[in-house]
Structure 1
């Protein structure tokens, strides 16, 4: 239950840790989340709002509601993990990374602002309850942890999946709708990924209460949502796609956990890794682990991978919070229990961890040119 604001180190604290969210056994946590509510990131040729400047935000940027929800999620993390983290920010304790996209950078900074309000000697301006936190990111074409990067083997395998009998049947069942939407939008809509893109645009416009063309009500959201859900599954359809798409992030998480259990994590004081990404960042990670269900990843969707140490040794626990309106729930790795012994966890995920991702992305056909990844 939330308490009223109280005075704390010279600042008002809207939230206090009055519930026991986390056990004393927690040693390390990795948080991966999607950015908050945004304006449309792209559009379609017949969109009546195509020339809208999206004042006061701009295209593809967080709305005020999106900013507030991200900040509140940071407060939630402070409540849940405050005992683990302590109150004094240090880059040795907390690592923050986002994609090279405005809305994920902003989302990362908003969550960090709520998570690390300054204490005592970290206060540099008395009327400003904020402090800067170091933010890391990689160029879009190099970020294989949180984005789909140019990996020829991934796209070649994805081509094969799209030509499988199951997907061809899905395509045939939806070809009439594809054709209708091509006529209405002016887009070359051919597959669930194209539906995902259109759905994202319409969702963002709906959140802004923009007026839709007459035809939209016949498709959005009911007819577009099932294929949008399927689009996430197709991208991680089989073990190879999971390995090449979600494997690098799984590897980074596993390496930090392994080093923590051995006492060689650098820096040794590290308690939390936080990754600010996109819907695909979360679904690819959880899909690679075999715990993603056919559902819509909402704005702010967040997964938490916790490393615990108790009397029985080390274990991993995974949680998912698909909305800022609900509490997280436990996920169970196939072949293990909800509280998964660390060695069992390592054994279960080793097949999806690439040994040399760059070389595994290469293909035998030197003439194969992979398509450009979809915008995040």
Structure 2
């Protein structure tokens, strides 16, 4: 596994840096936690008894711990020469959602990024992991209760396009309902059960015979719809990933020396740090990419990563390159109308409509009687579905 990580690191350096004299000044790495056991079972699931699992519900497996650690090793290899080998708070900052698996992944990522140094008597390099209690986090845990967002999403689900998806899959929903022991009338929420089937299969548990008609292809398709509709328009995107993009832009623009209009709730992620890392969840990866119109035809794998690099040309112009890294390789995200080396000002212009002050999230989530949301009868079909 480590050799594969080294290969990806070398490939990435060649891919993004070859023949370039541009200076890398800052980078943001947002990654999903490592592999875990299921966090949700359907009523008829034969493996819902936790005796089948090595750790409690939702927690990292040994494989997941290794994945997060190797991601840190990959980052160390890839950013050798940019990020000093010895940890210093002025160089690196890591933030995590307040969930056990992401906190552990953040710690393991940091351990892989900063291996133990010989001058220390400690067996490891302690790195601070910054976080908030889950109920106070609306930046990484973007599924927090938000009435206005739910109203917007319901309008999207009731649009002609998405209603047709449900209509076309009525027999599938009935088949799933009969075998899973629960009422299923929409693709919404089926991603959780696709995830459970994936984990069970991955852990060499034999799935029931009935699943062969729907897993993996059909359930994967329905799961992906859950990713697409969340960032289907500007309003839904703002209330899902706007706070995180505000954090990212606040960090990136801090290097320009110009007044910073973007708000940060992380607080300690100040100017000058070479790397800001965020340990999060699959929906964070999907939402970040969805806003950039990256084709969402997959479910983000464990330890998959979105990377934002800020570089400076000789004329002091800044530009942003975005990469998506998963278990099979790295893809340069081509931002529509801006390319793979997007001028910082154009990147800001592209993302700004969905950016939200993290401290304003709760206020924006209020759904009052004056708020009326209009949606087209025939919304434009996304080519990313």
Kindly indicate whether residue 292 of structure 2 is the aligned counterpart of residue 289 of structure 1. yes
Aligned equivalent of 1:158: 153
Find the residue that maps to 1:261 and give its secondary structure. coil
Match of 1:32 in 2: 30
Cα RMSD, aligned residues only: 2.5
- 1:55-108: CA deviations, max 9, x gaps? 432221222222222211111100111221111112221111111222111111
1:288, distance to aligned residue in structure 2 (A): 1.9
TM-score (norm 1): 0.87
Deviation of 1:110 after TM superposition, in Å, equals 1.2
- Report SS of the residue matched to 1:246: helix
1:225 matched to 2:227? The reply is no
Q: Confirm whether residue 277 of structure 1 aligns to residue 275 of structure 2.
A: no
Q: CA deviation at 1:54?
A: 4.0
In structure 1, what is the Cα distance between the partners aligned to 2:285 and 2:183? 27
Q: Which runs of 5+ in 2 are unaligned?
A: 261-268, 373-385
Task: Determine if the alignment matches structure 1 residue 70 to structure 2 residue 68.
Answer: yes
Q: Can you give the 5+ residue segments of structure 1 that lack an aligned partner in the other structure?
A: 4-13, 369-376
Pairing partner for 2:309 from 288, 306, 311:
306
After TM superposition, the structure 1 stretch with the greater mean CA deviation from structure 2, 14-23 or 202-211, is 14-23
The yes-or-no answer on 1:215 pairing with 2:234 is no
- Counting only pairs closer than 5 Å after superposition, residues 342-361 of structure 1 correspond to structure 2 as 342-355=344-357, 356-361=360-365
Q: CA deviation at 1:117?
A: 1.0
State the number of aligned residues. 351
Q: Does residue 173 of structure 2 align to residue 178 of structure 1?
A: yes
Query: 1:189–1:73: structure 2 CA closer, same or farther, 3 Å change rule?
Result: same
Deviates more, 1:255-264 or 1:62-71: 255-264
SS for the counterpart of 2:216 is: coil
Does 2:210 match 1:206? Answer: no
CA 1:366–1:58 in 2, change beyond 3 Å: closer, same or farther? farther
Contact 1:291 1:334 survives alignment (8 Å): no
Distance 1:139 1:119 in 2: 32
Counterpart residue number, 2:263: none
1:137 aligns with 2:102: no
Q: Is the 8 A contact 2:83 2:91 kept in 1?
A: yes
Mapped partners of 1:64, 1:364: distance in 2: 47
Q: Distance in 1 between matches of 2:322 and 2:29?
A: 10
Consecutive aligned runs of 4 or more in structure 1 exceeding 4 Å deviation: 14-24, 263-266
Residues in 2 aligned to 1:304 and 1:344: alpha-carbon distance in whole angstroms: 18
Native 8 Å contact 1:335 1:348 kept in 2: no
Deviations 1:274-322 (A, max 9, x none): 1111110111112123334332211111010011111141111101112
State the match for 2:98 in structure 1.
100
Q: Secondary structure at the match of 1:85?
A: coil
